[in-house]
Chain A
């Protein structure tokens, strides 16, 4: 991990110094334990701030999209001759590169607008899991050493097996290494346990419709409609989200249970074939809504129905923007 970090800093510094990137999006040390928030580096000297560890959570592709679309907007006001190109460098693990691929599939920007600093990934620590493991005590310091997370609380030091603290999506990650990159900053990381990829979906499918509905209802009742999930998601980049459209108004904005359900249902559905299971939405949710249970279902169906995995190849079209003659038709109703 340390080697990756050193290499990352070197490469980032070089990219900026050689003007091959105008800005680099990466992670830096946070002010609280367990957090390595996104940072934005423009000065080669600041590349020293970059970190790479198990506390790097957010999918940075979101910021790449933001930066490039803001830049494009700002260029519109200029005369063609005065327009400039902006290249964004990004520290990207497997899921981040999948989001970048989705952006490319959906023609959000060009491949040469980005420089991908690929990093091998072995998963990140889920803060909520840690809080639960530590049972309400405040974590004052945390670091990863080998297979454990070392945690300091007021009561003393504790060692927690990393496996227990990793986010669910990381534990079952199929693409923990970058799928596309311009520079790789380390060797490929060992594979995670993909056998469990759809375990929770399979288990949920076995429940009765009413049991499933009750679970959905209970989870959605937690939602406070802050839209943090949407804002953190690299695939949610609509300029105006349907939930905020007023003409027509698709969903009410109040605390009505059905409005929240419909908002969540439709946002989740927009992820069909586009969710890379990066876990950003889950990490940011202030209320701990179990979104992954539903997102993985879409993932599973996409694979079963259309042999589609989100964000694998930039040359492939978006799943719902394409079709094959061979697409299954068994859901089509035929009267007897």
Chain B
């Protein structure tokens, strides 16, 4: 029997420090066994348990896209035991990844629609996966317009800066990067994400919003999208809960009768309305 608790062995092949506070890094892992890679079929929005023997596991959204074969990427903030240990790792170290877990952004549902991606802070990771997936040449034609609003507190806290610059240069994506407060060198937009969403004002016509960020950002952004005419079915977000097993057994991450690890983390607001508000 396949043991879902045993992590897949991977090796750290690249580490990028994303922000000037140095507490958010992107780790690139390569599979050690090629058959593991073949079996690891995922979609944007799914997560995996990063597993460091001797320390434990931590559930983290997958930041790379399945259109980027050969590796997995995770952007991790240093917080607890596992993530702190991870931050101290060096390229070449072996560790484990357990997954993919949970559901994904609803790719089938998004097909043929205009997509508004709203992200705040370092919660942008699985959104990046989605954007990379959609922008891939084999996929781009399956989706309508893409509008992205991405905000961070300061320019130094924006992640994936190179990628943002590359997207800026493209004409098949409308990218709006904003910071709460800029510095001398910042030439871009200043302002909170909800305000920028109001300014950008994407049409709700045949459109879906995918939103991920700190709770306070989400709280103030949702009314903007309601005003723009988005229905609750067309606003989709991802939940976070403390997790251990990742497969709906250990009992801690349920919201009502749904387990965030197994039935989530992605839910539409319409689905969340049916669940209890305990997250």
With the chains together, A247 CA to B80 CA distance in Å? Answer: 8
With the chains together, A246 CA to B80 CA distance in Å? Answer: 9
Number of residue pairs A-B, CB distance < 8 angstroms: 4
Contacts of A247 in B (CB 8 A): 80-81
Contacts of A246 in B (CB 8 A): 80-81
Contacts of B81 in A (CB 8 A): 246-247
Contacts of B80 in A (CB 8 A): 246-247
Annotate B73-106 by CB proximity to A: 1 below 8 A, 0 otherwise: 0000000110000000000000000000000000
Residue of B nearest to A246 (CB): B81
The smallest beta-carbon distance between B272 and chain A, in angstroms, is: 25
Helix, strand, loop or mixed for chain A's interface?
A: loop
With the chains together, A246 CA to B58 CA distance in Å? Answer: 14
Range of interface residues on B (Cβ < 8 Å): under 10
Residue of B nearest to A247 (CB): B81
Residue of B nearest to A248 (CB): B81
Annotate A157-201 by CB proximity to B: 1 below 8 A, 0 otherwise: 000000000000000000000000000000000000000000000
Annotate A231-255 by CB proximity to B: 1 below 8 A, 0 otherwise: 0000000000000001100000000
With the chains together, A247 CA to B82 CA distance in Å? Answer: 11
With the chains together, A246 CA to B82 CA distance in Å? Answer: 11
The smallest beta-carbon distance between A181 and chain B, in angstroms, is: 41
Residue of A nearest to B56 (CB): A246
The smallest beta-carbon distance between A252 and chain B, in angstroms, is: 13
With the chains together, A247 CA to B55 CA distance in Å? Answer: 11
Residue of A nearest to B84 (CB): A247
Annotate B16-57 by CB proximity to A: 1 below 8 A, 0 otherwise: 000000000000000000000000000000000000000000
With the chains together, A247 CA to B79 CA distance in Å? Answer: 11
The smallest beta-carbon distance between B4 and chain A, in angstroms, is: 21
Using a CB-CB cutoff of 8 Å, which residues 120-143 of chain A contact chain B?
Answer: none
With the chains together, A247 CA to B81 CA distance in Å? Answer: 7
With the chains together, A236 CA to B249 CA distance in Å? Answer: 32
Annotate A242-280 by CB proximity to B: 1 below 8 A, 0 otherwise: 000011000000000000000000000000000000000
Using a CB-CB cutoff of 8 Å, which residues 62-82 of chain B contact chain A?
Answer: 80-81
The smallest beta-carbon distance between A304 and chain B, in angstroms, is: 42
With the chains together, A170 CA to B80 CA distance in Å? Answer: 45
The smallest beta-carbon distance between B53 and chain A, in angstroms, is: 15
The smallest beta-carbon distance between B45 and chain A, in angstroms, is: 29
The smallest beta-carbon distance between A249 and chain B, in angstroms, is: 8
The smallest beta-carbon distance between A229 and chain B, in angstroms, is: 24
With the chains together, A246 CA to B83 CA distance in Å? Answer: 13
With the chains together, A246 CA to B81 CA distance in Å? Answer: 8
The smallest beta-carbon distance between A77 and chain B, in angstroms, is: 15
With the chains together, A247 CA to B85 CA distance in Å? Answer: 12
With the chains together, A226 CA to B228 CA distance in Å? Answer: 52
The smallest beta-carbon distance between B103 and chain A, in angstroms, is: 30
The smallest beta-carbon distance between A59 and chain B, in angstroms, is: 31
With the chains together, A246 CA to B55 CA distance in Å? Answer: 10
Annotate B259-279 by CB proximity to A: 1 below 8 A, 0 otherwise: 000000000000000000000
The smallest beta-carbon distance between A310 and chain B, in angstroms, is: 36
With the chains together, A287 CA to B64 CA distance in Å? Answer: 50
Residue of B nearest to A249 (CB): B81
The smallest beta-carbon distance between A216 and chain B, in angstroms, is: 30
The smallest beta-carbon distance between B216 and chain A, in angstroms, is: 15
The smallest beta-carbon distance between A251 and chain B, in angstroms, is: 15
The smallest beta-carbon distance between A149 and chain B, in angstroms, is: 41
The smallest beta-carbon distance between B25 and chain A, in angstroms, is: 19
The smallest beta-carbon distance between B5 and chain A, in angstroms, is: 16
The smallest beta-carbon distance between A315 and chain B, in angstroms, is: 43
Annotate A267-301 by CB proximity to B: 1 below 8 A, 0 otherwise: 00000000000000000000000000000000000
With the chains together, A309 CA to B178 CA distance in Å? Answer: 63
The smallest beta-carbon distance between B73 and chain A, in angstroms, is: 27
The smallest beta-carbon distance between B80 and chain A, in angstroms, is: 7
With the chains together, A247 CA to B83 CA distance in Å? Answer: 13
With the chains together, A32 CA to B80 CA distance in Å? Answer: 44
The smallest beta-carbon distance between B83 and chain A, in angstroms, is: 12
Using a CB-CB cutoff of 8 Å, which residues 53-78 of chain A contact chain B?
Answer: none
With the chains together, A89 CA to B224 CA distance in Å? Answer: 49
With the chains together, A12 CA to B266 CA distance in Å? Answer: 52
Annotate B124-166 by CB proximity to A: 1 below 8 A, 0 otherwise: 0000000000000000000000000000000000000000000
The smallest beta-carbon distance between B270 and chain A, in angstroms, is: 31
The 4 closest A-B pairs by CB, nearest first: A246-B81, A247-B81, A246-B80, A247-B80
Binding site for A on B (CB under 8 A): 80-81
Q: Would you give 4 A-B contacts (Cβ < 8 Å), ordered by A?
A: A246-B80, A246-B81, A247-B80, A247-B81
